[in-house]
Amino acid sequence: MARRRRKNSRNRNPSSSVRVTRTKGSGASQTTNYSTGGLSITGMGPTGGVASSRPTIRATVRDQGSSLSKRDISLYLDGSEKTRFHYDQASGSLTYRVGAALSAGTHRVEIEARAESGDNQGRFDSSARKRWTFTVVR
C-alpha cells in the first residue's frame, strides 16, 4: 500500500488552540492563544454487515485552521489506494462508490489525512488516520 509522506504513524489530533501565559519578573503576565489546527475523521461507514457488493464508503474529514483538499487525503480499500473519491471541502464529506463488486466477506478501509496549518507564530503539521472494516453478506 503506497503511502504519502508521514513523520509518525500514530493518529494525532491536536486540540484547536493552545494558551500560553508568560509571567514577567515584575509579576505581570501576558496570555497568548495559538491555533494548532484540529484534523478529524468521523462518521465512517459502512460498518458491520452490508447487503450490497458495491457500497458507498463515506466519512467526514475536517481540519480546523487550514484548507484541507482532496490531495491531502488518501483512501485505501483492502490495501489498494483509491483516487476516484469525491471530497467536498465545504462540508468535509468524503464519498467513494465501489466500482467492481466486492466478494462476500470482510473488507478493510483506511483513510489518512495530512495538513499543514499555522499562524504568525509558526507552522504546525497534523495528521489523522482511521481504519475500519465492514462485511459484505449475501
The pLDDT tens digits for 58-113 are 999 999 767 899 999 999 999 999 999 999 999 999 999 999 999 999 999 999 99
Look up residue 100 and give its three cell numbers. Answer: 467492481
pTM: 0.70
Question: 117 and 36 in contact (C-beta within 8 Å)?
Answer: yes
39-136: which CATH topology? Answer: Immunoglobulin-like (2.60.40)
Three cell numbers, residue 116: 499543514
* Mean confidence (pLDDT) of the chain: 81
